């Protein structure tokens, strides 16, 4: 799933990828489907997500469709959403004494940025968690699927926790996404789940565990991570390095970092994120920065070396 917005930036889906055939895996079958979803189209977002989730296994709709076609729906035990669809939004001073110089956007531009960076993000998270949590309900044949863990990864930024002059709209969006993730995690806070053999659920198709308040909760564990990947060499940072509306010291820092090659390696940051999600070693709803993992990465590499030895 590639998330994008119309007419956008580096995170958007290139037109050539819309019909690209997935590469076969030499070790095991890997089914890949690409869906272009315009997250800036708030009015049409629900309909787009309805269509998307109807084609994704794990929820009731996917199994019903499989039964109609006479095939067995694949079993989904873990669902992960990694959402990095976003835009910088308007750049410039918040007060903007001279809007023609101090701010590069309009009210409509600001609203569009908030819709893409916050509104659609929150709604997509809600729909994603609800869709895969519903996989605990019984199917028409009385079988129960085993979705036991749903992980939502928000690609965050240092801008979510620190103010950067002239990047008010971007900081606003990142901070809002972090807080939404923290609230979602708080609501779903159950701790790591232990996968066990056999069916999940009681005779009614709902599994429960006791909480401190004695209430029953569904057996889907929802995990949320706000991951700041570090400063990366992307189209976005190159735009910042050349943007006249950006704070002069910030613009200079981006220029020097790009020129000196000191940006974080994209593959390295991605590997750290993948390792963090697979190991599930983070506080639910927390903000984790690439640089926070320096020590942990060394321990993981030593552990892998010990295994090979």
pLDDT of residue 25: 45
Closest by CA to 151, choosing from 303, 282, 254, 306, is 282
Handedness of CA 287, 289, 292, 295 (dihedral sign): positive
pLDDT of residue 214: 42
With a CB cutoff of 8 Å and minimum separation 6, the contacts of 245 are 91, 92, 102, 103, 104, 166
Closest by CA to 196, choosing from 254, 146, 265, 139, is 146
The pTM (predicted TM-score) of the whole model is 0.74
What is d(CA 303, CA 309) in angstroms, rounded to the nearest whole number? 10
pLDDT of residue 304: 56
**pLDDT beneath 50, residues of the chain:** 1-4, 6-20, 22-23, 25, 59, 137-144, 191-218, 309
- Site of tokens 């993992």: 293
Closest by CA to 139, choosing from 61, 216, 50, is 61
């Amino acid at each position: 799933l590639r998330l994008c917005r119309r007419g956008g930036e580096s995170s958007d889906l290139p037109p050539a990828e819309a019909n690209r055939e997935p590469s076969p895996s030499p070790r095991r079958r890997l089914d890949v489907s690409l869906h272009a979803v315009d997250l800036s189209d708030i009015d049409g977002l629900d309909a787009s997500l309805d269509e998307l989730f109807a084609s994704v296994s794990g929820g009731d709709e996917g199994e019903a469709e499989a039964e109609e076609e006479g095939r067995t729906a694949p079993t989904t035990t873990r669902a992960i959403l990694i959402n990095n669809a976003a835009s910088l939004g308007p750049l410039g001073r918040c007060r903007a004494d001279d809007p023609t110089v101090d701010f590069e956007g309009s009210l409509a531009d600001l609203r569009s940025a908030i819709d893409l960076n916050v509104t659609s993000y929150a709604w997509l998270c809600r729909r994603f968690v609800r869709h895969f949590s519903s996989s605990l309900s019984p199917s028409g044949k009385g079988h129960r699927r085993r979705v036991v863990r749903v992980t939502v990864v928000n690609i965050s930024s240092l801008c979510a926790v620190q103010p950067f002059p002239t990047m008010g709209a971007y900081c606003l969006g990142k901070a809002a996404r972090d807080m939404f993730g923290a609230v979602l995690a708080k609501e779903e806070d159950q701790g790591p789940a232990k996968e066990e053999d056999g069916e999940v659920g009681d005779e009614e198709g709902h599994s429960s565990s006791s909480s401190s308040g004695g209430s029953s909760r569904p057996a889907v564990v929802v995990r949320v991570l706000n991951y700041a990947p570090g400063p990366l060499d992307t189209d976005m940072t190159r735009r910042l390095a050349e943007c006249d509306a950006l704070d002069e010291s910030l613009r200079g820092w981006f220029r020097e970092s790009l020129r000196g090659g000191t940006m974080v390696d994209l593959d390295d940051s991605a590997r750290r994120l993948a390792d963090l999600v697979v190991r599930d070693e983070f506080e639910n709803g927390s903000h984790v920065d690439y640089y926070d993992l320096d020590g942990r990465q060394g321990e993981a590499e030593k552990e892998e070396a010990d295994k090979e030895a």
